[in-house]
Chains A and B, each alone.
Chain A
Amino acid sequence: MVVRAIGLSKTFRGPDGRPVPVLDGVDVEVKPGEFVAVAGPSGSGKSTLLNLLGLLEPVDAGEIWIGDVCVSRLSRRAQCPVRGRSIGYVFQSFLLIAGLTALENVLLAARYVGRSRREALPAARALMERLGVAHRSGHYPAQLSGGEQQRVAYCRAVLNAPPLVLADEPTGNLDDGHARVILAELRGLCRDRGASVILVTHRADAAALADRTLRLRGGRLESEGGDGTT
C-alpha cells in the first residue's frame, strides 16, 4: 500500500502565542516494502512529519493518502481504525503504559482493532519470544531495561501487522547492541512482510540501512538520497 503525503504543513503556537511554522509543504511518497529514513537537525520537523503521517496530529494543510484513501480528511472517529490497523508506532521514549505488564502492553494493540485477547495472545507471545522478552511478560515497564522496553514497544507496534510502521528515533535511548536488534527488525519488516517503514534518526548507521533518506531543514524537504546516502 503506497503512502503519500502532499503539501503537508503544520504550524504550532509559540509560548508568546506567535505562530511557529514547523512543516511547510512537504511531499513524501513511500512504496510498499520501502525503508525510508528521515534525517535533519533538531527542530527541522522530523517528528512532526511522523506525527502527521501517523494521524497523531491534524494537518493544517496538505493531504495524506494510504492506498486509495485520503486518511487526513477522515473524521476523528474514522481515523481511529486506520491508526489501529494500518499504522504501527515505535517511539524514542517507548511509551509503554506503566500500569500494564509487558504482555498486556503488547496485547493493547489488539484491543482497539476488535481482535480478541485469545486470538492475539499466540502472536503476542511469539513476537516477544522472537525479540527475547518473553521471559519478561509479567513484568511492568519500570522493571524492564531500556532495551527490553523498546523491544516490547516494537512487539506492540507490529502485532497487528500494519502496512506502515513509523519509528521516531527508536534507538535514541538504546546502546548499540539493542539498537542493532531494533534496526534489524525494522529492516526485516520491509524485506519479509512488505511493510513500509519510515524511520526518524540521527544515527548514520541507521540511515545507512534505509533504501533512501529524506533530509529536512526548517520544515522543508531539503534533499533526498538513495541507498542510505543523502
Chain B
Amino acid sequence: MRRLLPRNYLFTILGIAVGVAGLVALGAMAERITRFIDGGDRFVLGQISVAGEGMGMGTGFTAGGLLRASRIEEISRVPGVAAVQAQVMLPLNPTTSQFLTLTQELIMGVDPAAPVANRQYRELPVREGRFLRAGDRGVAVVGIDFAASRKLRTGGRLELGGRPFEVVGVLDKTLTAPDRFAIVPLDDARELWLRRDPLLVQVFAGGAGAMRRADLNTGAAVAWADGVDPDALARRIQAEVPGLNVTIPGELSRLLRQSTAFFSALLFGIGVLGLVIGGLSLSNTVTAAVFERIRDFGIKRALGATDLQLLREILAEALVVSVSGGLIGVGLALAVGALVDARVLREGQQLFLFSARLLGFALVFSVVLGGLAAAYATLRIARLSPAEAIRRGA
C-alpha cells in the first residue's frame, strides 16, 4: 500500500468514504422502500381479497363488512375458485389509523387447516419454531420486526387484546407487511374481536340474524385454479355472489402503485440525490487530490514521464484510493445503518436495506467515477508544460 500510494492520500480516501457512505445510506433507504412496496404488490397479486358489503373493520387488505360463512361457501362454489381462506385482521392498536394497512401492526387470524390461498406466499418462511397447526389455540407466530420490537423468541409469552399467547414461531424477514404481524388461530382472533367490539357482543347475545362464530370474518383470501385469469375470476365472484366487496388483483395492484407513487417518487429522488451527493463528493475529492499533486506531475514529466505513464500511474492510484474509500464508505454506511436500525427496530421498523446489488453498485460507481475524475484531472494537467506545472504547484 505504501508503495502504491503517497502518504497524503489518507484524507482523499476518507473524503471518498464519506461520499460513498452517503450514496450507500441513501440507496439503502430507497432499497428498503422499494422492497416494501414490491412485497405488498406481490401479496395483492397473489390472491383475490374479499370482504362483506359495508365498511366493517376496514383492516387488512380488503375494506368491507363482515363476511359470513355462508358467503364463503358460495364463493368456494364459483367455477375457477381453488380455495377460500377465511381471515380475521385486527389492528393491534385500535387507536392507530386503519389506513396504514401496510405499516401498522396487525393481528391476523387464519385457519391453519384451510389451504393457503395466496399464490405468492404458499407458506410464510419461519425463522425459528413452527407455523400454526390445526387445533392450535392460544399460540401465535409473529413477524420478525414484531418479535424484535418486543424481544420475543419462541417459547416467549405475548399479550394480545388482554389475552395471553405463547409464541411458537418467528417468521423470517419478508421486508413487507407480515414482518409486523402476529398470526393467531382464527378462533382466537374471533374471540379477540368480540372482546374488543361491544356491539358485536350485543349482536351475538341478541341472536340477531342467526349469527354464528364462523360468521366473524373480516374477509377471505380466494385462490384461483391453475390457468384461471384472477381478474376475470374476481369479476365473476362479484357477479355471482351478491353482497360482497371483491378486489380485483390487477386493479388493487394498480391502486397500490398509485397510492405509493409518492414513495416511488421519493425513492427516485433519494436515489438521484445519493448519486449526485456521493458522485460530486467522490469526483471532487479525487480531482482535488490530483490537482494538489500538480507539482509532482511537473517533476515527473521533467524526469521523462509521458502523458500515458502519468495517466497509468494516476489511474492505478485512483483505483486503489477509490476501492479503499469505497470499502470504508460501505463499512461506514453499514455501521450507521446498523446503529439507526437498532434504534428504530424498537418501534418495529427497519430503515435500511443493504442489498448486494446496492453495495456492488456503490463500489463499481466509486471506482468508475474515481477513475474518470482522475483521468479528467490528469488530462487537464498534461496540457501544461513541466515548468508550468511545477510553477502552479509551488
Contacts and interface: CB of A to CB of B under 8 A. Distances in A.
B386 interface: yes
B303 interface: yes
Most chain A beta-carbon neighbours within 10 Å: one of B9, B299, B388, B390: B299
A97 B313 CA distance: 15
Interface stretch (B102-110, B208-216, B304-312): B304-312
A65 interface: no
Interface in B268-314: 295-296, 299-307, 309
Nearest to A47: B387
Interface in B1-29: 5-9
A198 B368 CA distance: 46
A54 B303 CA distance: 10
Interface stretch (A77-85, A170-178, A207-215): A77-85
Contacts of B6: 97-100
B304 A81 contact: yes
Contacts of A28: none
Contacts of B306: 77, 80, 112
A93 B394 contact: yes
Contacts of A84: 303-305
A112 B387 contact: no
A113 B299 contact: no
B385 interface: yes
A54 to B, nearest CB: 7
B11 to A, nearest CB: 13
Interface string A46-85: 0000010011111000000000000000001100111111
Contacts of B390: 56, 95
8 contacts: A55-B386, A57-B387, A77-B306, A85-B304, A95-B295, A95-B390, A96-B299, A108-B300
Interface string A91-111: 001011111100000001101
Interface string A108-132: 1101110000000000000000000
A80 B304 contact: yes
A98 B385 CA distance: 21
Contacts of A55: 386
B7 A140 contact: yes
Interface of A: 51, 54-58, 76-77, 80-85, 89, 93, 95-100, 108-109, 111-113, 140, 156
Most B-side CB within 10 Å, residue of A82, A98, A140: A98
Given A56-B385, A83-B304, A98-B6, 6 more contacts: A77-B307, A97-B6, A98-B7, A98-B296, A99-B8, A109-B303
B316 to A, nearest CB: 13
A98 B8 contact: yes
A81 B303 CA distance: 9
Interface in B346-394: 385-388, 390, 394
Interface of B: 5-9, 295-296, 299-307, 309, 385-388, 390, 394
A57 B8 contact: no
A57 B386 CA distance: 7
B33 to A, nearest CB: 44
Contact of A56 (B8, B386, B394): B386
A77 B6 CA distance: 26
A76 B300 CA distance: 14
Contact of A95 (B7, B9, B299, B307): B299
B299 A112 contact: no
Nearest to B309: A112
B201 to A, nearest CB: 81
A-B complex: 10 closest residue pairs judged by Cβ atoms: A84-B304, A99-B6, A112-B304, A56-B387, A57-B387, A56-B386, A112-B305, A80-B306, A51-B387, A83-B304
Contacts of B9: 99
Nearest to B393: A95
A81 B9 CA distance: 29
Contacts of B303: 83-84, 108-109, 111-112, 156
Given A56-B387, A99-B7, A99-B8, A83 B307 contact: no
A58 B385 contact: yes
Contacts of B307: 76-77
Contacts of B388: 57
A9 to B, nearest CB: 16
